[in-house]
Amino acid sequence: MTAGVVETVAALRERLDRSRGAGISIGLVPTMGALHAGHTALIERARRECGCVVVTIFVNPLQFDREDDLRRYPRTLEADLDTCRSLDVDVVFAPRDDEMYPSPPACTVRVDRLADHLCGRHRPGHFEGVATVVLKLLQIAQPQRAYFGEKDAQQTAIIRRVVRDFNVPVDIVEVPIVREPDGLAISSRNVHLSRGERRVAVSLYRVLCEVQRHIAAGRTDAAEVRRQAAACLPADDGLRLEYLELVDPGNMQPVERITGPVRVAGALWVGATRLIDNLLCKPPG
């Protein structure tokens, strides 16, 4: 059973107040729609852990650093609603832009340090937009738990910090990356890949696995590990590695010597499509 779509903040608050009043726990799954198996994993986990599951579908203009990316971002609301229905979601919140931003926001969440590297370095303003919209969604829904994917590990680390810095009473739950059988991380942007691009897109995952292999073998020089792994990318004019970094999994700062667990993260342009992925790597012993 699924209630219909809720489009306004007031209607969502009213709906959730009823659940809260009945002592039902609320789980929030923020998404930008074009739902796929990665989102499904988040929703299923929320379904298992919470009495009332809210999925938000909002392509947040504030977090897009490129106009063309925002314009061509896939929008599949009807199919998304079917997916939510099949997963027994209680409420879908799909606001219009002017409901979330009736006027350009005067206050946004500025993110220090945690956003200095990886995607934050290459997408100016992106995490400020993400942190701002997620803080708004947490304020609106006031869930006990909110679900985010390890796929966007830097984003999840930033959300954890927002919650800590602004004393938001919510548990942040991180859900492992869902992959295609060949290892490609599932993403809404994968629909943009041509058949040829899809075939080479998996090289990002292969490079990350190569880093993982070097670290498991006891290599400790991060720059050297990166260089050798990046050299495994196939020579293909359509591929451009935007970054490949090894960072501390907690503060997302680059490491030089690998002495404990590190997260290797990369962004790869495949033609006009930008893909990201990451893996947690552990040294031996």
Q: Whose Cβ is closer to ligand AMP: residue 145's or residue 226's?
A: 145
Q: Whose Cβ is closer to ligand AMP: residue 150's or residue 245's?
A: 150
Distance (Å, whole) CA 199 – CA 220: 31
Measured from the CB of residue 55, what is the shortest distance to ligand AMP in angstroms?
10
Measured from the CB of residue 232, what is the shortest distance to ligand AMP in angstroms?
22
Active site residues: 39
Q: Which uninterrupted H or E stretch holds 206? A: helix 203-216
Q: Which two tokens stand for residue 172?
A: 């942040």
DSSP per-residue string spanning 47-100:
HHH-SEEEEEE---GGG-S-HHHHHTS---HHHHHHHHHHTT-SEEE---HHHH
Measured from the CB of residue 36, what is the shortest distance to ligand AMP in angstroms?
7
Q: What is the dihedral of CA 239, 243, 246, 250, to 10 degrees?
A: -120
Q: What is the dihedral of CA 12, 18, 20, 21, to 10 degrees?
A: 150
Q: Whose Cβ is closer to ligand AMP: residue 16's or residue 30's?
A: 30
Name the residues that contact ligand AMP, by CB under 6 A.
31-32, 38-39, 41-42, 148-149, 151-152, 175, 177-178, 185-188
Among residues 284, 266, 274, the alpha carbon closest in space to that of 206 is found at 266
Measured from the CB of residue 173, what is the shortest distance to ligand AMP in angstroms?
10
Q: Whose Cβ is closer to ligand AMP: residue 148's or residue 205's?
A: 148
Classify residue 117 by its DSSP letter.
S
